[in-house]
Structure 1
Amino acid sequence: MASPKEQVKPFAPANSHYLRSDEEEVASLHIKLRQRKYVHCCGCVSAVFLIIAVTAIVLGFTVFHVKDPKIKMNEVTVQRLELANGTLRTDTNITLLADVSVKNPNVASFKYSNATTLVYYSGTEVGEGRTPAGVAKARRTSRMNVTVDIVPRKILGVPGLMREVASGELTMTTYTRIQGKVKVVMVKKNVVVELNCTVSYNFSSGEIQREDCKRRVRL
């Protein structure tokens, strides 16, 4: 009779090796699937962030870019600029009426403070006018009427006036300055719009004969 030590142990199932291989293969497949899902998820998130970044850059350089407001002198009219005995009348002030428009090309309103218009003759300031604050709506044009009173005595004190009056024309320059703000989303910018115009008044026709304006914008 065989001793206990000599008893034969039962053999392991013949297919145990194959079972372990199948389990390892399934586990490896699960890991690969999780890795693929992770990579796919990261790719989607990266793509979304890339699209948002590109969209923000495009909007920043197009729609949300702060553009220059445009100021234009539409018409200038001079009243009570009359001659008496070959010289300017001094018993009444000369009135200069200017029709000014401000075009706002931005997607947000342009809010501006009081506008100032100065009139010069031969480099000497002879008149000043102010326009109340206002708002130029988004992609709209706002118009304002500027009235400037010119004191004849100031013009008469400038050398060379009578020579120009004798020629039948009087040339003056105007300077208009408008300061305001444009806020597009989170971007706020201060804007200063300046307009310099040279106008020539014809005594015979009583109208502005020539007008030349130059615009300047500072952001």
Structure 2
Amino acid sequence: MKVGSGKGRKVCLIVTGVVIAIAMLIVILAMTVFKAKHPVTTVDSVKLEDFHMSLDIAKLRVDLNVTLDVDVSVKNPNKVGFKYSDSTAHLNYREQLIGEVPLPAGEISSSETKGFNLTLTIMADRLLSNSQLYSDFTSGSLPLNTFVRISGKVSILGFIKIHVVSSTSCDFAVNISNRTVGNQECKYKTKL
């Protein structure tokens, strides 16, 4: 009684060997060439577009209207595209949200750097309720912070999807007398 022919076993071993070799090749490529790398978010510039500020000494109040033009770029160092979902850029004054602008969903191709030009208008009512604004105004410097967080997925070989979150936080000061932006310091963070 024959259990199986030698020819059938050889075919089975060859097919199994080819499947194992392809699986190993996919794993090696996923861990080396296609390994997910951190997208790098950079705040390239912050410009003061519109700045109107007046001091009401009788009421100890500051009236303010500020618009900032912020250029942000996101570099995708991966060998595959990075798809990101809708996001929001925030403007903060002393850790209080005072302005925001939406970033529509999109895709950044392999090794591409995509630029975003954001116009942030300050929500004056939120800013004016802060008791430190008056002293910052009289000192001549207004400390602000921009925060941009982009969340998305990197797809490797079409079926391995890795969730990526990249964020940038930049602290800077607006010089009230000459309406310029100075002392910019940014921190970058990426989670895979």
Q: Give the TM-score of the pair, scaled to structure 1.
A: 0.71
- Structure 2 runs not aligned, ≥5 long: 1-12
From 100, 116, 121, the equivalent of 2:88 is 116
1:138 aligns with 2:110: yes
1:94 aligns with 2:70: no
Q: How does 1:61-76 map to 2 (within 5 A)?
A: 61-76=31-46
Q: What is the distance in 2 between the residues matched to 1:197 and 1:120?
A: 10
Q: How does 1:182-197 map to 2 (within 5 A)?
A: 182-185=154-157, 186-197=159-170
Larger helix share, 1 or 2: 1
Query: Does the Cα contact within 8 Å between 2:62 and 2:133 map onto a contact in 1?
Result: no
For residue 49 of structure 1, report the CA deviation from its aligned partner: 8.2
CA-to-aligned-CA distance 1:38-73 (integer Å, 9 cap, x gap)? xxxx9xx97x88976765454232211111111000
For residue 88 of structure 1, report the CA deviation from its aligned partner: 4.1
Aligned pair count?
177
Larger Rg: 1
User: What amino acid maps onto 2:139 in structure 1?
Assistant: S
Greater relative contact order structure (CA < 8 Å, 6+ sep) = 2
**Percent sequence identity over matched residues?**
32
Q: Partner residue of 2:8? A: none
Query: Does the Cα contact within 8 Å between 1:82 and 1:88 map onto a contact in 2?
Result: no
User: What amino acid maps onto 2:63 in structure 1?
Assistant: R
From 172, 175, 189, the equivalent of 2:147 is 175
- Measured on the aligned residues, the alpha-carbon RMSD in Å equals 2.6
Q: How does 1:26-45 map to 2 (within 5 A)?
A: none
- Structure 1 runs not aligned, ≥5 long: 1-41
Q: How does 1:156-171 map to 2 (within 5 A)?
A: 156-171=128-143
Larger strand share, 1 or 2: 2
For residue 178 of structure 1, report the CA deviation from its aligned partner: 0.9
